[in-house]
Amino acid sequence: MNKPRVERKHSSGACQTFKNPEEFSSGFFFAVNFLRKLTGGFVMILVLAQGTSRQDLERLKEILRSEGHMVKEIGGVEDQVLGIVGKNYKEASYYESLPGVQKAVPISKPYKLVSRELHPAPSVIKVGDVAIGGDRLVVIAGPCGVEGKKTTMDIAREVRRHGAVLFRGGAFKPRTSPYAFQGMGEEGLKILREVREETGLGIVTEMTSPGQADLMMKYVDVVQIGARNMQNFELLKSVGRIGKPVLLKRGLSATIEEWLMSAEYILSEGNDQVILCERGIRTFERYTRNTLDLTAVPVIKKLTHLPIIVDPSHATGRREKVSPMARAAIAAGADGLIIEVHTDPDKALSDGPQSLYPQQFEQLMRDLYVIAPVVGKQLDYAYLDKAEIMKPRPEGHRAPATVVYSGVPGSFSHKACLQFFGGEVPLNNCASFKEVFEMVESEQAAFGVVPVENSLTGSIHENYDLLLDYDLKIAGEVTLRIKHNLMGVANARTEEVKRVYSHPQAFQQCREYLEKNPGWDLVAYKDTASAIQRVKESADPGEAAIGEGSEPLAGMAVLKEGIETNPRNFTRFVVITRNESIPGPRNKSSIIYSVSDKPGALFETLGIFAANNINIVKLESRPIHSRPWVYMFYVDLEMDMAEEGNKAIMDELIEKTEFFKFLGSYNKGLQEKP
């Protein structure tokens, strides 16, 4: 864990982990000498047959080179893959006839390196502890321009408190008028550096000329290329050589293809850390500053592997329109947002009319928290704090910063881990829920993630019983929207299905759809991801599986999308731990207790909550296995019972119960209003 790690999703959707940057640099995207020769030739991807030996591979490369092709092995993907460039085009069938070649895929688009044809899986761009393009939304916020230390610091503290993970602020401002505020230059960059040191927010700022490269290397985490410079090709080459992440804004009148070709310039210089930013285009409409092209989001998702964020501030130019378009951008599938925020917009030196007040930004973030799960993402208020606690531990610390879950990669439990902790945390899968609890209790893992209830089918009773049996605490929770698809092998048809595999709860959640197909044989499986994998391996068109079919399980066909009975299908997962804690406010507590067998005993305990104005969000009874017809009560409360001021409430509960267990206080996720 002491070596830096670089991760990239490969063609199966799983993460390929490289133990050091040098190993990663040997992959396709950093083969700069090869990539810069792409212009003027055709590009073909050759997927090699399974089991191709190194000797056969070298023989194939010799054949290709003898015909005048440039050849490069593409690293960081699941299959053995070669990329070739040639001057004289030949059909794919010719290359498929060569020994060891299973499939040849021509790259037909003018943009090669940014194309999904070359890189089918989405890229995740790392900026310090922040991952753009992953399972958590990334919100970049701050003023249009750096105006002074106090104002900039005040804004940074506000946006950090409300969930922003990167800070935007211009030190160099290209303006339409030569008389407008042009930025503070290096003095502004020094202020941004202080923002990073105090708040931990990475810095995003604009570079306007190649001569600023040294300053960018010294002060900045993400280099922004503004709309007016999207086709400044010398500038694009320069940021490609810098090697830092680049936020590339779409030009004022640029087509999507022109935008992607600008990204191609950056990648062709060896830098694949590009984030695209839709910021509105110029049209004849005058009621907004620009026209925000949200259709670009799904189009970009289809054409390129690069992540895309949206800038509703510059797109609309008007404060009251920023939040609606920000919400719409996330619903459209954007990986994040860049929002202008100012503590006193009326006095801002640039773009004050489109800057949100901090309280407006706070409300927007609460809205995004609600919207995100619908599109399979999370807005995490504790994003940066979690990253700190999950970093490599000092020698001698008993618990490694590892997270365990039940199931296989691609399962909903795996997705819950990614959405709560991010993809940079070491994740291990277990064969059962009980094994998760055992791993955490024995301190072989710092945290475990287990499901406890579903909005359609109720509680997962096994895990409630395990919470009683093991001496562990709940440290957090995350809620996933569960969307089920009927998955089959490629070219299969629903009419052919005879047998369906899935977890029993998935069958319950899709009951209405399954009742319309009474002839299907339903076979229970340990989790949905394993069921899909089983059908994939069988290659039988008569078999299907129910599950999400996420990227680690790619290669399957969706026979029917969204077959759950109710689209409001959510599963709540809790994070369990023995000794660890997760930073942030604690606004929820869970307890277990039993009461004596006498009239009013339960009522007396509930009266304690009523008397102290404590809201009960869950109350469920579970039988005590050793005592038939005697029950434990599981209670979730909107309060921090561990807080010193609430000690008297806990003491009163203990006094009125026969058995009492405190499961922990934690953050229910949504940021509390001050």
**Active-site residues: which are they?**
571, 573
Q: How far is CA 176 from CA 45, 66, 88, 181, 345, in A?
A: 44, 54, 46, 10, 20
Who contacts 667 (Cβ-Cβ below 8 Å, separation ≥6)? 381, 382, 476, 477, 582, 584, 585, 586, 587, 588
Is the C-alpha dihedral spanning 293, 297, 298, 301 positive or negative?
A: positive
Phi/psi of residue 201, each to 5°?
-80, 130
- Cβ-based burial of 363 (10 A; exposed 0-12, middle 13-18, buried ≥19): middle
Q: What H or E segment, with its residue span, contains residue 240?
A: helix 233-242
Structure tokens belonging to residue 101: 């070649």
Q: What H or E segment, with its residue span, contains residue 501?
A: strand 499-502
Nearest to 590 by CA among 502, 417, 472, 493: 472
Does residue 400 sit in helix, strand or coil? coil
DSSP letters, 189-227, are HHHHHHHHHHH--EEEEE--SGGGHHHHHHH-SEEEE-G
Who contacts 352 (Cβ-Cβ below 8 Å, separation ≥6)? 342, 345, 346
Nearest to 597 by CA among 575, 617, 624, 615: 624
Report the DSSP pairing between strands 15-18 and 138-142.
unpaired
Torsion, CA 461, CA 467, CA 468, CA 474, rounded to 10:
-130
Is the C-alpha dihedral spanning 438, 443, 444, 450 positive or negative?
A: positive
Nearest to 297 by CA among 257, 248, 246, 331: 331
Angle at 264 between CA 375 and CA 103, to 5 degrees: 75
**Rounded Cα–Cα distance for residues 161 and 376 (Å):** 24
**Rounded Cα–Cα distance for residues 197 and 190 (Å):** 11
Displacement of CA 112 from its chain's centroid (Å): 25
For residue 487, list its beta bridge partners.
545, 558
Structure tokens belonging to residue 306: 């690069």
**Rounded Cα–Cα distance for residues 294 and 301 (Å):** 12
Does residue 519 sit in helix, strand or coil? coil
DSSP letters, 98-138, are STTEEEEEEE-SS--TTBTTT--SPP-EEETTEEETSSB-E
Structure tokens belonging to residue 270: 């060896």
- CB burial of 154-184 (b: ≥16 within 10 Å; e: otherwise) equals ebbbbbbbbbbbbbbbbbbbeeeeeeebbbb
DSSP letters, 559-626, are EES--SS-S--EEEEEEEESS----S---EEEEEEE--SSTTHHHHHHHHHHHTT--EEEEEEEEETT
Question: Which DSSP letter does residue 277 get?
Answer: E
SS3 of the chain: helix, strand, coil, percent, to 5: 35, 25, 40
